[in-house]
Amino acid sequence: MPFTNFIQEIVIKNLTDLYSQQFSEKDFQINETKPEFEGDYTVVLFALVKTLKKSPEILGNELGTHLLKSYPDFFFGYNVIKGFLNLEITENQLTLFLQKNYNKDSFGKKPSNHKKVMVEYSSPNTNKPLHLGHLRNNFLGWSIAEILKANGYDVIKTSIVNDRGIHICKSMIAWQMFAEGATPELTHEKGDHLVGDYYVKFNDEYKKEVGQLIQAGKPKEEAEKEAPIMKKTQQMLLGWEQGNPEVRALWEKMNSWVYKGFDETYKRIGSDFDHTFYESNTYLLGKDFVQEGLQKNILFKKEDGSVWVDLSDKGLDEKLVLRGDGTSVYITQDIGLAKQKFNEYNLDKSIYVIGDEQLYHMKVLKEICRKLGMPFADDIFHLSYGMVELTTGKMKSREGTVVDADDLVDEMIATAEKHTEELGKVKDFTQEELKDLYDTLGLGAMKFYLLRVDPKKRMIFNPEESIDFHGFTGPFVQYTYARIQSILKKVESEHLAIDHIQLTRNTLLPLERQLIILLEKYVNAVADAATEMNPSIIANYVFNLAKLFNSFYAEHSVANAENDQKKELRVTLSVMTATVIKNGLQLLGIKVPDRM
């Protein structure tokens, strides 16, 4: 059990012993002691003062004395300053913790809790390549999946590919009109980029046609409706829905190009899925619930035959769930798919990693499911994340201000190569090893950069900052890991049996003590990251750990420690720091290099 939780528990017990009153963990706080005070953990007494009618000083001293007496192995000393009871943990306890866990790969991982959760993320459209926003989504989804796994969940990663609709038809029409048979094989362009090019081409042509119509005297609205290319596209969508073989063949061909491109990108960035849903298979789902809802009077029909749900009692509006012509809208399919997910996979929780512009939509989905009496309604969780903006403003695909995912990955890896070459530390690496290293560092930098901020908040992507490999960055943490490997290599070559370290009593130096206490907090960081659905907690933790280790490293030598006991202690400390960095970064999808 983590120290904080343990202290919480025994303080409750001690308070009952002393004052015959029951307290819960909400009645007081256990904090880390601020560095300017003596101690490791602090019990904040103010909240207890009132109920116990004792002064903070008396309460602190009574509690402190009692804690010390009942747990002499755990507490070494205490002091009371104002309303704060600062507790010092025994060196024995700290070294015991280190000894038990330093070599445990499973440190921070919980056993199965037999709960199943689905994480849906990435979910691209097939009319254009992935961009920076998708990267934040992918890294977030993948990381949350890993974090949940570490907390004992059985996780299924899914993606729903939006492979049908008017936007795909736009690319298809433009390709027919302008491509002259161009394929990824002929042009040597990645399939998703090729299809994306024709999506852009469509918009150019559309704008041109609308402009001409306006010039010919048509009102803007009419011109937008009547542009020939738009009409053709709508015709094509109709053809697709009716199953026109030519349209379907072209659709399948162009989508297959896109999938090949996506797969390449996913492979590079390390995204993967246990199952992929395609909207072309799911877009008809949900209609049966409309009938059911009508019978139960939860939904109502308007004169034109369209079906609606009234959510005004929940502060939301009326929402259409079925068009007058009987075709479904997006929310219809979402209801159907939500149910299918729970039924097919027997889920305890279903997480959707979707941008915060869809907060309203997801709220509506949940509310409709609730109204329809679906038992899983409350287990739908929208992990919403903020938009990625550029220093120059928002990304807009139509204005060509998007940062393409493939380009960005290339740039990050190239930056890793540049920095590595400048430093010249790995001249003996093979070509293969170098490539691996650049990938590890480039992707590490990018993932860390996008995951280090709270997902809920929108963030600004600063290109200069993103390629910085110093400070609060992935490579900084990776560097710390590599440094430790270097120490261990040296120590190993001295034939020290690091697998059989016997820690004996040492006098812990401040940095050694701080490191152990920080390492001990990893378990709580992993748990917090899961409850908050927030990988940035891990990123911050792992950075602080690396920073602290680097201070320790600069101050004290491991290989040339003052004596053998110190050496053993520090080797153990180094091994454990490396393990925690490795495990923590793994939760972010970031690899560690042995050398860099």
Q: Which of residues 163-202 bind RNA (CB under 7 A)?
A: 165-167
In the complex with RNA, the residue whose CB is nearer, 275 or 458, is: 458
In the complex with RNA, the residue whose CB is nearer, 48 or 150, is: 48
Q: Name the pairing type of β-strands 349-355 and 115-120.
A: parallel
458 binds RNA, rule: CB under 7 A: yes
317 binds RNA, rule: CB under 7 A: yes
Q: Which one among 176, 540, 565, 586 touches RNA, defined by CB under 7 A? A: 540
330 binds RNA, rule: CB under 7 A: yes
* Interacting residues with RNA between 193 and 252 (CB under 7 A): none
| Cα R_g (the chain), whole angstroms | 29
255 binds RNA, rule: CB under 7 A: no
Alpha-carbon torsion angle 55, 57, 59, 64, nearest 10: 180
**Which H or E element spans position 212?**
helix 191-215
Burial class (CB in 10 A: 0-12, 13-18, 19+), 563: exposed
Contact between residue 377 and residue 326 where contact means Cβ atoms under 8 Å apart = no
Q: Which one among 265, 536, 572, 583 touches RNA, defined by CB under 7 A? A: 536
In the complex with RNA, the residue whose CB is nearer, 176 or 514, is: 514
Residue 549 beta carbon to RNA: minimum distance, rounded to whole angstroms: 8
Contact between residue 308 and residue 320 where contact means Cβ atoms under 8 Å apart = yes
460 binds RNA, rule: CB under 7 A: yes
In the complex with RNA, the residue whose CB is nearer, 112 or 430, is: 430
471: left (phi over 0), alpha (psi -120 to 50) or beta: left
* Interacting residues with RNA between 145 and 164 (CB under 7 A): 162
Q: Which residue has the tokens 């940095």?
A: 511
116 binds RNA, rule: CB under 7 A: no
Name which of 363, 286, 353, 354 is nearest 317 in CA terms: 363
In the complex with RNA, the residue whose CB is nearer, 105 or 304, is: 304
Rounded Cα gap, residues 567 and 414, in angstroms: 39
Q: Measured between alpha carbons, how far is residue 157 from residues 136, 141, 331, 466 in Å?
A: 16, 8, 22, 28
Rounded Cα gap, residues 404 and 398, in angstroms: 13
Q: Which one among 25, 55, 551, 564 touches RNA, defined by CB under 7 A? A: 551
- Apex 532 CA angle, 527 and 537, nearest 5: 70
In the complex with RNA, the residue whose CB is nearer, 179 or 290, is: 290
Mark residues 416-455: x for contact with RNA by CB under 7 A, - for none.
x--xx--x-xx----------x---x----------xxx-
Residue 203 beta carbon to RNA: minimum distance, rounded to whole angstroms: 14
* Interacting residues with RNA between 577 and 596 (CB under 7 A): 593-596
Structure tokens, 526? 């992993």
Q: Which residue has the tokens 């929108």?
A: 458
469 binds RNA, rule: CB under 7 A: yes
* Interacting residues with RNA between 33 and 72 (CB under 7 A): 33-34, 36-37, 42, 44, 46-47, 50
Residue 103 beta carbon to RNA: minimum distance, rounded to whole angstroms: 19
User: Residue 159: beta bridge partners?
Assistant: 276
* Size of residue set near RNA by CB under 7 A: 94
All residues at 6 or more sequence positions from 313 whose CB lies less than 8 Å from its CB, including other chains: none
301 binds RNA, rule: CB under 7 A: no
34: left (phi over 0), alpha (psi -120 to 50) or beta: beta
Residue 215 beta carbon to RNA: minimum distance, rounded to whole angstroms: 25
* Interacting residues with RNA between 492 and 521 (CB under 7 A): none
Q: Which one among 121, 199, 259, 479 touches RNA, defined by CB under 7 A? A: 479
In the complex with RNA, the residue whose CB is nearer, 235 or 358, is: 358
Rounded Cα gap, residues 81 and 225, in angstroms: 74
User: Residue 78: beta bridge partners?
Assistant: 87
**DSSP character for 395?**
-
In the complex with RNA, the residue whose CB is nearer, 106 or 555, is: 555
284 binds RNA, rule: CB under 7 A: no
Q: Which residue has the tokens 């002064």?
A: 55
Mark residues 358-397: x for contact with RNA by CB under 7 A, - for none.
xxxx------------------------xx------x---
Residue 593 beta carbon to RNA: minimum distance, rounded to whole angstroms: 7
**Which H or E element spans position 289?**
helix 287-295
In the complex with RNA, the residue whose CB is nearer, 179 or 338, is: 338
Residue 48 beta carbon to RNA: minimum distance, rounded to whole angstroms: 9
Residue 305 beta carbon to RNA: minimum distance, rounded to whole angstroms: 8
**Which H or E element spans position 322?**
strand 318-322
In the complex with RNA, the residue whose CB is nearer, 79 or 183, is: 79
